[in-house]
Every structure is written in structure tokens, then in C-alpha cells.
Amino acid sequence: MITFYHLVGEGGLPRRATKCASGTLPVNGFRYCEPVRTASAFGWYVYLPMELWLLWDGGEVQWSIDQGETWYVLGSAIQYPGFASAFDAAGPESIQGYAPPFLTRTNDDGILQIWTGQIARTEEGVGAYVRAPVNVSGPGGYDVLEGVIQTEWWFGPLFANIRLRRQGRPIILRNDQPFLQLQPFSTEFAKRFEASKTEVVQGLDHLSEKDWTDYSGTVVRRMKTRERLGDYAVEVRKREKALT
């Protein structure tokens, strides 16, 4: 379904996301909350090639790659150390000088673009929904702006835009924790969604007999007979097992 091209030879390789949200879910959430487990595991984790520190005063952005020992003002963009020369040496003459930047300042204050060191290619009909890792407790200080990339035909750097939220204290982007989560995005389903209509049922008196029966089977029955946590999770796993 997806192929990652790991162009920067450092940092963790992309991998399937995990039901434990990279080990950050509370124990009971991991054991009993199947909706959280399922959402957490849907997609692939993508890591940064190195740890990056940022410092923002509301206007100027500074960056450091030595854990805050040395700071530099971010102009328009910087390259990953040594990558531009390696890119030019490896590629044909026509692409030399076009290495993707590692960190870029956009025209919007506090919005930066960061390259993961990856290119992703998906099969026909599948795009990539780019977002922050699902349910993973991050270091804070920034938000990942979500987006959809048509990676079935777009063969370019896998970037993400982040919005800085913390001023005056370092924002640390670690390379041993997931930076992004890519989720498969169906282009055909997106077309169906665009063409679909939204129906809203207002008021209890508009629930049908089937609606009341379904509610009884999913909620009332469980409230009457519940003896343990996670009965929904148990039922979901039984259904999944029956389908395999």
C-alpha cells in the first residue's frame, strides 16, 4: 500500500503505528478502550532524522541541533547537514541544486515547514492523510497542521507544517518519538463524501423502532449484564476474529 524512501540516512525508519500509542496510552485505555486502540494503530509513524530545538519570541525563530548549546536565527530555510552535497552527487545533473530544505520559515508568523527526510509513494487510489501521532503524548509547544497529500502521483518530500505555540522557552522535536502519523486516505471515498448529503434526525420522537432496538442491544443490554470492563473491546475482537 505504501513505500517510504528514507533519503536521509539517520533517524528512525517509518513503521506501523501501535495500539499502545507508542507506549503512551494509560494501562486501562490500552486494555479496555478498543476505539482508542484502533485509532492509535491506524497508519504509520514517521520520525525526524535528528533532534531539533526551536526558540520563538513571537516573531523571530531560532534553531539548534546540539540540544541548545548553539542557537542560530532562522532566515528563509536551512538544509539538513551534508544532505545537499550528497543529493547533488547522487542525482542527475538536471536535479542538482534542488535538494529539499530541512526547515523552512513560511510567510505566516509561527508556522514552519519541516521535512522528515522521507518521500512516500502509495498505490493507486490511496493518498496520505498527514497528522500528529494519534493519542501520543508529545513534548508540547507546537501543533502539527493536518493535511492530505496525493502520494499516488506526488513524488516529493514528505513535509509537515507546524504551528508554534510556546514563546520564550525551547520547543523540542525529538527524533526518538513519532513526529507524524500517516494514515491511508481513499481518494474514491473522498469523492463519495463530496457528493454525499448529511442527514440529521432531531428529537427522540423521530427515532425509529430499529433505532430503539439497536440502542437496546448496544447500550441497555451491556448496562444490565456488565460484569467487567472492556466488553465492547471483547466483542470487537470476536467479530474481527470471525472475519479472518
Is there a contact between 22 and 55 (Cβ–Cβ < 8 Å)? no
pLDDT of residue 144: 96
Q: What is the pLDDT of residues 71-107, one digit of tens each?
A: 999 999 999 999 999 999 999 999 999 999 999 999 9
pLDDT of residue 69: 95
pLDDT of residue 108: 93
Measure the CA–CA gap between 238 and 244, rounded to whole angstroms. Answer: 10
Mean pLDDT of the chain: 90
Of 28-37, 43-52, 130-139, 168-177, least confident by mean pLDDT is 28-37
Choice between 160 and 243, residue whose per-residue pLDDT is larger: 160
Q: How many residues does the chain have?
A: 244
Greatest mean pLDDT among 111-120, 132-141, 212-221: 111-120
Decide yes or no: CATH 2.70.40.10 for domain 2-194.
yes
Q: What residue segments make up the domains of the chain, in order of their start?
A: 2-194, 206-243
Q: How many Cα atoms occupy the beta-carbon half-sphere of 65 within 13 Å?
A: 10
* % of the chain with per-residue pLDDT over 90: 73
Confidence band, pLDDT 50/70/90 cuts, at residue 149? very high
Q: What is the pLDDT of residues 154-169, one digit of tens each?
A: 999 999 999 999 999 9
- Name every residue whose Cβ is closer than 8 Å to that of residue 159 and which is 6 or more positions away in sequence: 100, 113, 114, 115, 116
